[in-house]
Amino acid sequence: MSDDASLERLLEAALESRRAQHLERRRRVITPIDAVHVEIDGRRLVNFCSNNYLGLTHHPKVIEAVATATRAAGAGAAASGLISGYTSGHASAEAALAAWKGAEAAVLPPSGYQANHAAVQTIVGSAEVAGTRVRFLLDKLAHASLIDAVRGSGASFRIFPHNDLAKLERLLAERDSEEMQVVVTESVFSMDGDAAPLAELADLKRRHPFVLLLDEAHGSGVYGPNGAGLAAELRLTDAVDVFVVTLSKAMGLVGGAVCSSRSFCDALLNFGRAYVYSTAVPPAIAVGCEASLRVMRDEPERQRRVRELARRVREAVGMNGDCPIVPIGLQDEPAALRAAANLEERGLLVLAVRPPTVPKATSRLRVTLSCEHSDDEVAVLIDAIRQLKRVE
């Protein structure tokens, strides 16, 4: 048998195993209509599963900025930032991102996934050169990009139970004096829509010095003055050493950003392989990023509206808070898939999230809101979820 044939058999067996557990992932072709409506197989659906919290994918000013910059600077960067892919648009967006986050500097890797890798690689690479041991302490529900980044870095790490600061404190106390400890968490958790206890983390940092790497992929845009994030809203920016942001969610674009000190960003250009060895985001995306930042500043009603809609949906399902990520827990994978199909019959697109994206036995519908959803659409959603809960 050729190696090709054995590879095919191996792939089929692996996929069959996923299928048997109702865990196989497949894509569907969608046609975007606007920020919150799509067409699938000729049917118009209201999209309740994107991360388009502020509807900026379709904001006329963002589209115009990207289109104009594309005509001027071309469709792609054609090289990494360290070769010839770093334009005035990138430099200007980085300065704007840094100012927005209250940081000295920023670097724009091609995605949030890569931004997390580059941030971790910067710490590990610099520590290696300096001969310092480093240990990462990761929240159990940290995004796959953070876990992959830490695992892939070869550095030592421990995982602490979700938001369990007593356990985190015990781990921090194990530190030997030579070691640098890095706590890695998210301000708003991507699958649960809950928040890290940032004030308590800031207190903990005073008792046990550590570096705080905070992923604000989902906090940015939705919280804080000008959408600067949850840490900014809570006036805890100073407690954070390294912010990771995505341009792909509230900003409606693609790309990531690491915002930190000038020296961290300089080190990233030397040790952050996920940035160094990848083509820069297109110049037009960098220009679009600044347009998104301006919209966040000039149209704060978008943030107010998405949080108000989130409060409405959360109240209806017995949850507190105003985070636009609303998890609807279901017993198992078939139940989650049935629930998603049921909502789709009612014209609502909601994704069933299953392991390994979430821990075993926690399959759920991940409902997300956008300021562009109408009151009527949200009312239909609430009614549909209530009916689901009665059936399940």
Q: Which residues are catalytic?
A: 51, 143, 186, 190, 215, 218, 249
Using CB positions, name the residue nearest to ligand PLP. 112
In whole angstroms, the minimum distance from the beta carbon of 184 to ligand PLP comes to 11
Residue 248 binds ligand PLP (CB under 6 A): yes
The one among 36, 182, 201, 217 contacting ligand PLP by CB under 6 A: 217
In whole angstroms, the minimum distance from the beta carbon of 215 to ligand PLP comes to 5
Give just the sign of the alpha carbon dihedral 152, 157, 160, 163.
negative
Region 125-144 residues binding ligand PLP, contact defined as CB under 6 A: 143
In whole angstroms, the minimum distance from the beta carbon of 392 to ligand PLP comes to 26
215 vs 333, which CB is nearer to ligand PLP? 215
Region 356-375 residues binding ligand PLP, contact defined as CB under 6 A: none
In what order do the strands lie in the sheet containing 105-107?
105-107, 256-260, 242-246, 211-215, 179-186, 133-139, 156-160
* CA separation for the pair 51, 90 (Å, rounded): 23
Residue 256 binds ligand PLP (CB under 6 A): yes
> From residue 144 to residue 163, what is the string marking binding to ligand PLP with x (rule CB under 6 A)?
-x------------------
In whole angstroms, the minimum distance from the beta carbon of 182 to ligand PLP comes to 16
* CA separation for the pair 305, 376 (Å, rounded): 14
In whole angstroms, the minimum distance from the beta carbon of 86 to ligand PLP comes to 19
In what order do the strands lie in the sheet containing 325-329?
325-329, 364-368, 351-353
From the list 239, 267, 386, 373, the residue with the least C-alpha distance to 318 is 386
Pairing of strands 351-353, 242-246: unpaired
In whole angstroms, the minimum distance from the beta carbon of 208 to ligand PLP comes to 24
111 vs 278, which CB is nearer to ligand PLP? 111
| Cβ density class 284-316: b for 16+ within 10 Å, e for less | bbbbbbbbbbebbeebeebbebbbebbbbbbeb
Residue 113 binds ligand PLP (CB under 6 A): yes
The dihedral region occupied by 163, where left means phi > 0, alpha psi between -120 and 50, and beta the remainder, is left
From the list 306, 263, 370, the residue with the least C-alpha distance to 48 is 370
Residue 246 binds ligand PLP (CB under 6 A): yes
Site size with ligand PLP, rule: CB under 6 A: 14
In whole angstroms, the minimum distance from the beta carbon of 248 to ligand PLP comes to 4
Locus of tokens 């007593």: 166
> From residue 174 to residue 213, what is the string marking binding to ligand PLP with x (rule CB under 6 A)?
------------x---x-----------------------
| Inter-residue contact 32 to 45 (CB < 8 Å) | no
363 vs 384, which CB is nearer to ligand PLP? 363
285 vs 388, which CB is nearer to ligand PLP? 285
Alpha-helix residue ranges (DSSP H) falling in the chain = 3-20, 60-73, 88-101, 112-130, 144-153, 165-173, 198-207, 230-233, 262-271, 273-276, 283-298, 300-316, 333-345, 375-391
113 vs 210, which CB is nearer to ligand PLP? 113
* CA separation for the pair 64, 87 (Å, rounded): 19
Peptide bond into 32 cis (omega under 30): no
| Inter-residue contact 210 to 239 (CB < 8 Å) | no
With a CB cutoff of 8 Å and minimum separation 6, the contacts of 91 are: none
186 vs 194, which CB is nearer to ligand PLP? 186
Residue 215 binds ligand PLP (CB under 6 A): yes
Locus of tokens 């072709």: 29
> From residue 62 to residue 91, what is the string marking binding to ligand PLP with x (rule CB under 6 A)?
------------------------------
163 vs 248, which CB is nearer to ligand PLP? 248
Please give the residue ranges that form the binding site for ligand PLP (CB under 6 A).
111-113, 116, 143, 145, 186, 190, 215, 217-218, 246, 248, 256
